[in-house]
């Protein structure tokens, strides 16, 4: 009698551990789902911001390009520039007309420079034929086709070698963007170059000169990288470019000690796979996100966008710690609470085991009461967590006795969760209980492998999905059973399948009434498709897709004149082409019909050839859907072996040999081999003997 309290305490402890494991499992799942959701929200927010900054930068560049382009397209400037260039030929000498023309050009570029930030209003001086050695940092110049300066603003900076090389190579049609490069006083300098064409010339003619605008990328530009109303503390938007094996940072960026690194002062290894900027450059425009290391060593979430017309990439990063700190904190709290509960229960069980039968009945009763109170608190917690789930959640021990049940499981059993405890599963029969449940959880106990079962219950129209998960408890194993009623999903699928079959039958009737040849032809193609699918042991989805495609492939013939379909004699090449393209018309007609498999794509690929010579062009080999390869062979075989009103059918063995001759060129050899095996070894010649009967 003295052993009974200890045995009860051990059983209670096992039940508590099972419940705690279930609670911890559910808590971890919830914490992970919240982490995934928050991470997705961060990615969406980052995508919205970086797209906004991408537009701002591209609008700024477009505005600068427009200024230089309008200057280059000014008709008066083009006339005068042509005059100046002609007069500056070594054989000519300077004249009053040339000086007047040069003065006009000076006024033109001076006005443009002052209006668009390429020159200071307080410095009206200009240089003509200058050597570009001024220490100034911005300006506008007009050059000859070979790059000789004709006229420029006084603050025009030196032309870098890259720009000079471009001028020597001749004109391009669009405004070119160069830079940035390190300018004077530590500025990042950028150039815009537009070709100037003669008034009577088109853009295929040589340029008569170039309009060049050079200015620094100042604060007004870099402020466009800052998102108005930015809510993230650690978010940064900056520009980079890859120059060979180097990653150059165009934007000024703060260092970890708070100092500001000037533009183009940071250069890192572009081959460093862990670098955030390297990932952004490789995946720019793909909406890709990844966790990488920023230029300052911080771990960040990064994405990137290409800036059109440049080699730049806009990078947005957010510190990983800012994103995940709150989520990790909640996850750790849940894990710690669950761990403390499990530890407390384990200590209680050890105390019960330590004292054993030697403990007085009163102390054993007190310990039992304390353990019961803890169990009740944990049970209450578990019930709150699991009762809110729509699924039936139960746990059984190795003898098939219930050790846990949530409220939906109790309602299914028609009793309270307390009444279910300790009872065997065989003694409870609810409307969602599988009659094979015992065999399933015994299988899990024997193999320690989870089992997922979808079955239709025999006594009602319910379809359930049950997961049987091994649940270790001490040196024994229990089973966690999660059951979900998926009857509405199954009924909806059956309704869709019924509607699809009705559609197929209706369309088949249309084909029959339009072209009696196609009716029998489609039915025979379907029989051959079934045989090939069986021989190749294809999956159900491929089999069903091929069947539907074979049945409906001739629907497009309703658009073909009926006299072509029923004419007993031969058809011209144009008439044959009209009939052959009916399969594509079938695909067009069914484009918006929803099938479970890729029926429309199968129809579009029936005319594809294994070597890529068919239609669609260059679609070849394994890239062709298996369903399309099967229908193609079946259609060709039926067409050759079926008798028509104006000819007899070809011998089936000969037809297969002809298909085999075209294997690896038109047809998939495996499909043809499967058809041949069915004819020779599965009595196909006898089963399809009716093919020799004329279709009409």
- In sequence order, which residues have a C-beta less than 8 Å from that of residue 269 and are 6 or more positions away? 245, 246, 247, 275
Contact 520, 695 (CB under 8 A): yes
Q: How far apart are CA 614 and CA 40, in angstroms?
A: 43
Per-residue pLDDT, 668: 94
CB atoms within 10 A of CB 567: 13
Output the DSSP codes for 569-608.
S---HHHHHHHHTHHHHHHHHTTTS--SS-HHHHHHHTT-
Mean pLDDT of residues grouped by 10 in the chain (696 residues)? 57 71 74 76 86 92 90 83 63 57 79 80 45 63 81 79 69 79 81 85 77 88 89 90 92 84 89 91 83 91 90 91 74 70 67 56 67 64 72 85 84 84 82 81 83 80 84 75 81 72 70 63 89 93 92 78 62 64 81 87 92 90 95 91 71 90 93 93 85 64
Q: How far apart are CA 111 and CA 530, in angstroms?
A: 80
Output the DSSP codes for 623-690.
GS-HHHHHHHHHHHHHHHHS-BTTBPPPPHHHHHHHHHHTBTTTB-HHHHHHHHHHHHHS-HHHHTGG
Q: For 262-401, where are the E strands, in sequence order?
A: 266-269, 290-293, 299-306, 313-319, 392-396
CATH topology of domain 393-485: Beta-Lactamase (3.30.450)
CATH topology of domain 222-324: Beta-Lactamase (3.30.450)
Q: What six digits make up the tokens of 157?
A: 């900076």
CB atoms within 10 A of CB 420: 20
Per-residue pLDDT, 568: 60
- In sequence order, which residues have a C-beta less than 8 Å from that of residue 209 and are 6 or more positions away? 81, 85, 142, 143, 144, 145, 150, 195, 196
Angle between helices 320-355 and 361-387 (to 10 degrees): 150
Q: How far apart are CA 494 and CA 506, in angstroms?
A: 18
Q: With residue 328 as reference, give the H or E element that holds it.
A: helix 320-355
Strand duo 149-153 + 126-127: pairing: antiparallel
- In sequence order, which residues have a C-beta less than 8 Å from that of residue 232 and are 6 or more positions away? 318, 322
Task: Sheet containing 476-485: give its strands across.
Answer: 402-405, 392-396, 476-485, 463-473, 451-456
Q: How far apart are CA 146 and CA 404, in angstroms?
A: 88
Contact 572, 602 (CB under 8 A): no
Please indicate whether the domains covering 393-485 and 490-692 agree at the CATH topology level.
Answer: no
pTM beyond cutoff 0.75: no
For 635-658, how does the pLDDT look when each residue is reduced to its tens digit (9 = 90+)?
Answer: 999 888 887 655 677 888 899 999
Scanning the structure block, which residue is given the tokens 């429309």? 600
Scanning the structure block, which residue is given the tokens 């209450």? 380
Q: How far apart are CA 82 and CA 104, in angstroms?
A: 13
Q: With residue 439 as reference, give the H or E element that holds it.
A: helix 437-447
Domain boundaries, the chain: 3-41+327-386, 71-196, 222-324, 393-485, 490-692
Which phi and psi angles does 381 have, rounded to 5°? -60, -45
- In sequence order, which residues have a C-beta less than 8 Å from that of residue 575 and are 6 or more positions away? 564
Strand duo 476-485 + 392-396: pairing: antiparallel
Q: What six digits make up the tokens of 476?
A: 């024994």
In b/e form, how buried is each residue of 138-158, taking b as 16+ CB within 10 angstroms?
bbbbbbbbebebbbbbbbbbb
Per-residue pLDDT, 608: 92
Please say whether the dihedral angle defined by the alpha carbons of residues 134, 137, 142 and 144, taken in this order, is positive or negative. Answer: positive
Q: What six digits make up the tokens of 679?
A: 């004819």
Residue 513: is it exposed, middle or buried by C-beta count within 10 angstroms (0-12/13-18/19+)? exposed
Q: How far apart are CA 52 and CA 59, in angstroms?
A: 11
Q: What do you get for the CA distance between the two ends of the chain, in Å?
A: 91
Please say whether the dihedral angle defined by the alpha carbons of residues 63, 66, 71 and 75, taken in this order, is positive or negative. Answer: negative
Q: How far apart are CA 121 and CA 110, in angstroms?
A: 9
Contact 616, 606 (CB under 8 A): no
What letter does residue 152 receive in the DSSP assignment? E
Q: What is the CATH number of domain 490-692?
A: 1.10.3210.10
Contact 525, 667 (CB under 8 A): no
Per-residue pLDDT, 671: 95
Contact 372, 12 (CB under 8 A): yes
Contact 670, 537 (CB under 8 A): no
């Amino acid at each position: 009698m003295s052993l009974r309290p200890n045995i009860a305490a051990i059983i209670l402890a096992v039940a508590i551990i099972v419940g705690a494991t279930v609670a911890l499992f559910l808590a971890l799942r919830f914490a992970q789902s919240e982490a995934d959701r928050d991470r997705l929200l961060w990615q969406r927010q980052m995508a919205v911001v970086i797209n906004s900054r991408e537009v701002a930068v591209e609008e700024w560049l477009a505005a600068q390009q427009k200024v230089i382009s309008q200057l280059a397209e000014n008709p008066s400037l083009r006339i005068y520039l042509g005059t100046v260039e002609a007069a500056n030929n070594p054989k000519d000498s300077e004249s009053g007309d040339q000086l007047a023309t040069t003065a006009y050009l000076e006024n033109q570029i001076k006005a443009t420079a002052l209006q668009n930030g390429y020159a200071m209003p307080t410095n009206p001086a200009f240089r003509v034929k200058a050597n570009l050695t001024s220490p100034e940092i911005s300006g506008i110049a007009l050059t000859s086709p070979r790059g000789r300066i004709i006229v420029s603003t006084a603050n025009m900076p030196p032309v870098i070698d890259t720009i000079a090389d471009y001028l020597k190579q001749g004109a391009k049609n669009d405004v070119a963007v160069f830079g940035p490069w390190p300018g004077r006083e530590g500025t990042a300098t950028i150039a815009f170059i537009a070709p100037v064409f003669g008034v009577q010339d088109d853009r295929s003619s040589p340029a008569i000169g170039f309009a060049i605008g050079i200015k620094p990328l100042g604060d007004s530009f870099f402020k466009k990288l800052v998102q108005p109303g930015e809510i993230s503390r650690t978010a940064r938007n900056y520009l980079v470019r890859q120059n060979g094996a180097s990653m150059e940072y165009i934007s000024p960026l703060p260092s970890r000690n708070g100092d500001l690194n000037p533009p183009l002062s940071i250069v890192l290894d572009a081959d460093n796979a862990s670098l955030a900027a390297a990932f952004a450059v490789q995946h720019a425009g793909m909406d890709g996100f990844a966790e990488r290391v920023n230029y300052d060593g911080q771990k960040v979430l990064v994405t990137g966008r290409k800036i059109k017309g440049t080699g730049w990439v806009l990078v947005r990063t957010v510190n990983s710690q800012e994103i995940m700190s709150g989520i990790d904190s909640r996850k750790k709290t849940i894990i710690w609470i669950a761990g403390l509960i499990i530890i407390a229960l384990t200590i209680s069980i050890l105390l019960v085991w330590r004292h054993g039968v030697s403990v007085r009945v009163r102390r054993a009763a007190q310990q039992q009461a304390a353990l019961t109170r803890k169990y009740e608190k944990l049970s209450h917690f578990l019930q709150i967590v699991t009762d809110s789930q729509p699924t039936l959640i139960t746990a059984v021990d190795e003898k098939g006795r219930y050790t846990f049940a949530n409220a939906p499981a109790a309602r299914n059993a028609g009793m309270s969760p307390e009444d279910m405890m300790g009872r065997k599963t065989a003694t409870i029969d609810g409307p969602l209980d599988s009659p094979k449940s015992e065999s399933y959880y015994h299988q899990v106990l024997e193999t320690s492998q989870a089992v997922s079962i979808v079955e239709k219950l025999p006594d009602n129209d319910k379809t359930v999905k049950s997961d049987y998960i091994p649940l270790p408890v001490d040196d024994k194993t229990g089973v966690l059973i999660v059951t979900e009623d998926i009857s509405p999903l199954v009924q909806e699928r059956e309704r869709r399948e019924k509607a699809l079959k009705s559609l197929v039958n209706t369309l088949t009737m249309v084909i029959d009434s339009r072209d009696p040849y196609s009716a029998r032809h489609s039915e025979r193609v379907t029989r051959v498709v079934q045989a090939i699918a069986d021989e190749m042991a294809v999956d159900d989805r491929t089999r069903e897709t091929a069947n539907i495609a074979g049945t409906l492939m001739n629907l497009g013939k309703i658009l073909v004149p009926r006299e072509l379909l029923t004419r007993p004699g031969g058809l011209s090449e144009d008439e044959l082409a009209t009939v052959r393209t009916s399969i594509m018309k079938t695909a067009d007609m069914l484009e918006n019909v929803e099938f479970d498999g890729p029926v429309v794509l199968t129809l579009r690929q029936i005319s594809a050839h294994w070597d890529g010579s068919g239609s669609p062009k260059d679609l070849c080999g394994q890239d062709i859907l298996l369903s399309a390869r099967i229908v193609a062979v079946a259609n060709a075989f039926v067409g050759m072996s079926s008798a028509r009103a104006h000819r007899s059918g070809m011998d089936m063995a000969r037809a297969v040999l002809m298909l085999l001759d075209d294997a690896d060129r038109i047809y998939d050899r495996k499909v043809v081999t499967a058809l041949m095996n069915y004819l020779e070894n599965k009595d196909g010649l006898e089963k399809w003997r009716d093919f020799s009967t004329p279709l009409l």
